[in-house]
Chain A
Amino acid sequence: MYTELNSILNTTPDSFTQGEFVLLSDRQSDASFLIHHFLSLYLRARCKVCFVGLVQSFNHYSAISQRLGVSLTQAKEKGQLVFLEGQKESLSVLIPQENDTGSQAMDFLRDPSVGLKNLYEFVRSAVSSNGEEGGDGSEEWGPPVLLVDDLSVLLSLGVSAGAVLDFSHYCRAIVCSQLQGNVVMLVRCDGEGEEDEGDDEGSERLMKGLTHQCSLTLHVQGLPTGYCRDIHGQVEVCWRRRQGDGQYTQKKLFQYKVHDKGASFFAPGTSSAVL
């Protein structure tokens, strides 16, 4: 959890806007540090968290969260965190074992054209089972949160952009609107620019569709001037809903540097290495 980012987004573990759909995106850069931020933020906020991790193993996320001061293993044991480890699940779908009782969530791997209904069913059961864990003194958790890292992997696995948008729509409908929780999704764009429509149409279309759905975007880009040791890139924060002061869309640009145990955000040109 990066406190500087919290103050930019006006959130704390104790008070955050509910019903928000946050879109994290990157173009030729890496926004995964933001996923770790939101994961640790919502775990500290005592939310019921469902994490769909398609990119890395559980140990990877666990190690990073440990550095940010949150234990994923404990959260999992307490029933606060439901973790879908995409890599393991896909293995059990592709190489079925006889005594396998794996979930149906990754069924789309066999036939991508059926859509992501089963993955949605997994998310729905994870976020709806709040406080129904049984009588062993399970704790009450806050509003549910869904994190997906990342949606572009689904495109690579053969799912169409439209099916991914359907999935994100259903997730938004149940988590944000019905249960007043939050959704955080990461999407990657490898295209050169926004006008580039030729070879990478799927991810562009996915990103635009998600932008229409979401209420807050954090778009990570590399510096336009190239690599720099002291500034790792820039984040464009864009609020798309009606804010308190009546403005509809508000944009702010920050540069950032990721440290070992955190990240610093500053206005463009005010890096401590420059001043």
Chain B
Amino acid sequence: MLPELLQGVDTGGLLVIQDSASYSGRHLLQSFINAALNREEAVHVLGFEVSEEELKDGLRGSPVQRLHFHNAYTDPLGWTDHPAFTVHQFCLGELTRLVKQTSHSKPATLVIDSLSWILRHVSTPDVCRTLQQLRKGGAVRSIIGLLHADMHQRGTVGSVCHSATSVITVEPAMRGDEAVAKITKRSKSGKVIQDEEIFRIKDDLTVVVQSKSSKGAKKADSEEQETDPTANLTFNLRLSDTEREAKQKLALPFVFSKEKKTALLHSGPGSGRIHYEPDANDDYDQEDPDDDLDV
């Protein structure tokens, strides 16, 4: 699923990469930028959280001549005299103007790094409306936005994700350089596909999908169970005919056979006997226990 998304978001699509403090989604975002640049698409980056140098440093080896960086990093609130782009300019008109500044035949991809910065200063409905207008407006082909989900209330995150066509949630995986991506994709027909993958980002920003996460792992488990557990045993589970005969012949010590019984009941000659001769003491009357007393 992840490689599919990397090959290009549908026209008019909005892809949201959700991350948290424990794993940054920016590297995946850079992979998306890299993939778009390699497809010879124009990419406009609206950078609130990274400087141009930092971004281009991360994109070493990519064809950056089609990358247009709009600097909202140095002065997003207009605290200095000459802000390049402030957060309050985040509206359809301004963004269309920015993207149209550079003339390309193909509509471009707009990358927003990050939506969290905008959501801190612009109300959620306004952000969602602008995103929706941009998708329908035709100036941009698709939008990719980074969202730090742990910075906002659940409702805000929900609103933004509902207006997205695809949502990728990244989380750290067990192994150091790997991460888990939970992907929700809504196709135009209304079908929703969900998937979970473990991926790794190589140095050249290509994404390698290691395995289908949990679901895939479960499948692998069941396959393992089907294999014969008696395959490599150190002992023999089956008996040959002679072995079975020998086994049946053997009398087990706790089985009480007929021979054993007679041997126990009829004692042979020379065995001990008990002779009993009653004496006076044995003549004991139950009803008169004091019978022997001379009273």
Contact = CB atoms under 8 A, between A and B. Distances in A.
Nearest to A215: B54
A120 B79 contact: yes
Interface residues of A, number: 24
B73 A177 contact: yes
10 residue pairs, one from A and one from B, having the closest CB atoms: A177-B51, A211-B21, A208-B21, A173-B74, A246-B203, A208-B150, A212-B148, A162-B120, A247-B177, A117-B79
Interface in B1-32: 20-21, 23-24, 27
A125 to B, nearest CB: 12
A240 B117 CA distance: 19
A212 B113 CA distance: 12
Contact of B176 (A165, A173, A208, A250): A250
Interface in B30-69: 49, 51, 53-54, 58
A205 B203 contact: no
A178 B148 contact: no
A177 B53 contact: yes
Interface of A: 117, 120, 162, 165-166, 169-170, 173-174, 177-178, 205, 208-209, 211-213, 240, 242, 246-250
B151 A212 contact: yes
Contacts of A173: 51, 73-75
A209 B121 CA distance: 14
Contacts of B116: 212
A21 B75 CA distance: 18
Nearest to B202: A246
Contacts, number: 56
Nearest to B179: A248
Interface of B: 20-21, 23-24, 27, 49, 51, 53-54, 58, 73-77, 79, 116-117, 120-121, 148, 150-151, 172, 176-177, 201-203
A169 B116 CA distance: 13
Contact of A249 (B49, B54, B73, B172): B172
B73 A208 contact: no
B151 A208 contact: yes
6 contacts: A169-B76, A177-B73, A205-B151, A208-B21, A242-B58, A250-B176
Nearest to A209: B151
A200 B88 CA distance: 29
Nearest to B74: A173
A209 to B, nearest CB: 6
A162 B77 CA distance: 12
Contacts of A162: 120-121
A170 B77 CA distance: 9
A247 B24 CA distance: 12
A166 B74 contact: no
B150 A248 contact: no
